[in-house]
Structure 1
Amino acid sequence: MSRPPVSRLPRSPPSVQRLSNGVEMPVLGLGTYRLRGAICTSTVKAAICAGYRLIDTATAYRNEEDVGAAIAELAGNGTVSRKDLFLTTKISPKDQGEERSYAAVLTSLEKLGPSVDYLDLVLIHWPGTAGLKVSDPQNPANRRGSWRALERLYSEGRVRAIGVSNFLPHHLDDLATHSTITPHVMQFEFHPAVHTEAQPLLDYLRAHQIVPQAYSSFGEGALLDPARYPFPELHAIAAARLATPAQVLLAWALTRGVSVVPKTKSVARLAENLAAVQLELGSDEMRALDQAFAEKTERFCWNPAVVV
C-alpha cells in the first residue's frame, strides 16, 4: 500500500534575524506554553507543515516530549529534517546553578527524542531560583552558574546559541562581569501596553547586540478582546488593513525589530499569525498603537524587577 501524501514545507521560510554569532533565527515562531499531550503534538505538526521553522518550548512547559514526537513523525516521513528547524528550550528556575542547568539541558535533549541531537537556542527562563526569596543574594550566584553551564554547552556544540528570558539591564550587567559570551537572545513580555517601560531595555539590548524576542504579544489574550480590554486603535488599524488584531500586534513588534513566538492551537490562526511577517505598519499606525499606552503600563506576566 502506498503511503498517503504528506504536507511539504513551503519553499520560502519566514524572514530571519542574524544573531551576533552568525546563527540565523526566524523572526516568527510557535510558542507552546500550556500546550501539552496530543494537542501540543498536533499543533506543532500543523505549524511545521504550514511553514513555521521556530518552535519554542521550555522545561517548565512540560511538553518537550510532545514537541519531540511531532518532529520525529515529520522527520520520519520526510516532511522535514532537523536542519530545517530552529528549536528553543529554557532552563527552569528550579534548575538554576551550573551543574543542575547543564544536566537539565541534557535532559531536554533526551525528552525531545532521537531526531533532536542539538538545540538551536537555550535560554535561562527567569533570573531567580525557585524556592529562594527574590531578594536572596544566591539568585545572582545561581544564574551566573547557569550561564557557565550554557557557555560549556555552547562550546561543546550541543547548543548553537544561548540567551536569557525576563532579565533586565542590571541582571545582564551582572552576568557580563562573570562571563565570556554575551547572550545572543533575550526573550521578554512585549506588546504596546508595556512598550514605554520596555524602551530602555530595548535600547540596552541593541547596544549590546542582543536580539530581542517577544512573548505574550497579545497580553495573554486581553489585548485582543474589547470586552476585557478596550483598545480601539488596534481594531481600527486591523479593519483598515483587512488584517486580524493579532496580526497587527505581531506586525507592531516585528516592525520594531523584535521577533515573536505567538501561541495558538488553531490551524487557521497558525496561518494568520505567520502571515503577519508580510504586514508592515506605517509610522502613523505605530504611533497610534504606542500612544494608546503612553501614560500607563499594563503587564500581564511576571515582573522581573523584583529579583536581585
Structure 2
Amino acid sequence: MLDKTGREYVRAKMPMIGFGTFQVSTEQDIYATIDAALSAGYRFIDSAQDPKYNNEHHIGKVLKELLPKYNLKREEIFITTKLRVENQGYEKAEKSILESLQKLQTDYVDLLLIHFPGCNRNDPNDPRNPVARRESWEVLEKLYKEKKLRSIGVSNYQISHLEELLGHATVLPAVNQCEYHPYYYTKDLVKYCESKDIHFQAYSSFGSECKKEALLSDPKIAALAKKYGTNVTNFLLAWALSQGISVLPRSRNPAHVKENLKALDIKVSPEDIEAARADNQTKFLWDPTKF
C-alpha cells in the first residue's frame, strides 16, 4: 500500500498482546514459557539481538519442537526481533539480521525493529548516530523488499527521530515500540505516531525495573483495578490496550502467562486512563531523548 506521498507502508496482522522474552535467556526457561504462552493462546513472540535477551537461538529451536505440538504453522506465529545498538550501520546491520534469521530458524521475521536511535550508548552527540540510523533503515527496507522482513519499524524513537526518518524513508515504519505506563505517559509521542499511521506499542507495562514495585503497589492503580474487577497487572495491560496500544507482558510463571490474556476483555474508560496517570512522570533508564 502507498501513503499520500507515494511511500509504501506495511499492514501486517499483529496480535494486540505479545509474549515478551526480555531476560528469559536459558533454553529451559524459553521452552517452558513459550509452551505456556502457546497453550494459553499467544501467537506473538518478541525478542531482540541484545545480550539481555540472548535467546533468538533458543526460540528458533523451541518453536521447531512446539509448533507441531499445537498443530501450528510458522505463518500463524508473529515474531519480532530487534537490531542491536552495536549492529547499526549498513554492513553490520545486514549481517546481523541475516544471522538472526538463522538463529530463529526461519526464512523471515514478521517485524524487525531498530532497537535504539543511537549507535553509541554513551555519547548522544556522537556524529555517527544519524548516519547509522539512516544506513540501518536502508538495510531494513532492502530486506523488506526481499521479503526477509514482513514489516519494519523502530523502538525508543522520539518525535525528532521519527521526523528525521520520515524525511528519507521509502517504506514507512509500521511500529514504534517504547516504554509506556502510567508512570511514563508520553501522550505527545503517541499522538504523533497516530497522525503518521505508525502503531505505538508498549513495553514495560508494569514499569521499568527501578519503578516496578512502586507502580504495582500504587494505591491509586490498585483502586482502579478493583473498580474493574481485576488485578493490578491486568489493569495496567488493559490501560494501554484501551488506548489502542499493543503490549508485551513477560512472565516465567505459566499461570501469570495465561492470566495476562484476560486484559483483552477489559475496557478502561478515557476518564480512568487519565486518572491512572502519575503526577510526576519518570523517564526510563535507557533515555533516547538526546540522540
Equivalent of residue 73 in structure 2, options 74, 81, 95: 81
> What SS class does the counterpart of residue 193 from structure 1 fall into?
coil
Say if 1:223 and 1:231, in contact at 8 Å, map to a contact too.
no
Q: Describe the superposition over 1:142-183 as per-residue Cα deviations: whole angstroms up to 9, x where unpaired.
A: 110000000001000011100000011111111122221110
CA distance in 2, matches of 1:234, 1:282: 14
| Residue in 2 that maps onto 1:9 | none
| Residue in 1 that maps onto 2:267 | 280
**TM-aligned CA deviation for residue 245 of structure 1:** 0.3
| Residue 109, structure 1, aligned to residue 104, structure 2 | no
Q: What amino acid does structure 1 have at the position aligned with 2:11?
A: G
**TM-aligned CA deviation for residue 220 of structure 1:** 2.9
CA distance in 2, matches of 1:159, 1:207: 24
Say if 1:90 and 1:125, in contact at 8 Å, map to a contact too.
yes
Q: What amino acid does structure 2 have at the position aligned with 1:135?
A: N
| Residue 298, structure 1, aligned to residue 273, structure 2 | no
| Residue in 1 that maps onto 2:3 | none
Say if 2:21 and 2:46, in contact at 8 Å, map to a contact too.
yes
Unaligned runs of 5+ in 2: 1-7
Q: What amino acid does structure 2 have at the position aligned with 1:140?
A: P
**Please, which moves more after superposition, 37-46 or 24-33?**
37-46
| Residue in 2 that maps onto 1:120 | 110
Say if 1:185 and 1:212, in contact at 8 Å, map to a contact too.
yes
**1:177–1:300: structure 2 CA closer, same or farther, 3 Å change rule?**
closer
**TM-aligned CA deviation for residue 230 of structure 1:** 4.8
Q: Describe the superposition over 1:173-205 as per-residue Cα deviations: whole angstroms up to 9, x where unpaired.
A: 11122221110100000001111xx11111110
CA distance in 2, matches of 1:275, 1:78: 21
Give the 5 Å matches for 1:217-232: 217-220=205-208, 225=213, 230-232=217-219
**Please, which moves more after superposition, 93-102 or 169-178?**
169-178
Say if 2:36 and 2:258, in contact at 8 Å, map to a contact too.
no
Equivalent of residue 31 in structure 1, options 20, 24, 42: 20
CA distance in 2, matches of 1:132, 1:235: 37
**1:160–1:71: structure 2 CA closer, same or farther, 3 Å change rule?**
same
Q: What amino acid does structure 1 have at the position aligned with 2:254?
A: V
Equivalent of residue 176 in structure 1, options 166, 170, 177: 166
Q: Describe the superposition over 1:202-251 as per-residue Cα deviations: whole angstroms up to 9, x where unpaired.
A: 1110111000000000003666635x875211101222322110000000
> What SS class does the counterpart of residue 174 from structure 1 fall into?
helix
| Residue in 1 that maps onto 2:5 | none
Alpha-carbon RMSD across the aligned residues, in angstroms, is: 1.8
| Residue in 2 that maps onto 1:267 | 254
CA distance in 2, matches of 1:144, 1:200: 24
**TM-aligned CA deviation for residue 258 of structure 1:** 0.7
> What SS class does the counterpart of residue 59 from structure 1 fall into?
coil
Say if 2:144 and 2:152, in contact at 8 Å, map to a contact too.
yes
**TM-aligned CA deviation for residue 69 of structure 1:** 1.9
Say if 1:223 and 1:230, in contact at 8 Å, map to a contact too.
no
TM-score, length-normalised on structure 2? 0.91
| Residue in 2 that maps onto 1:243 | 230
**1:276–1:224: structure 2 CA closer, same or farther, 3 Å change rule?**
farther
CA distance in 2, matches of 1:108, 1:302: 23
**TM-aligned CA deviation for residue 41 of structure 1:** 2.2
> What SS class does the counterpart of residue 214 from structure 1 fall into?
strand
| Residue in 1 that maps onto 2:42 | 52
> What SS class does the counterpart of residue 236 from structure 2 fall into?
helix
Say if 1:125 and 1:165, in contact at 8 Å, map to a contact too.
yes
Equivalent of residue 196 in structure 2, options 165, 184, 208: 208
Equivalent of residue 276 in structure 2, options 265, 275, 289: 289
Q: What amino acid does structure 1 have at the position aligned with 2:83?
A: I
**TM-aligned CA deviation for residue 77 of structure 1:** 3.6
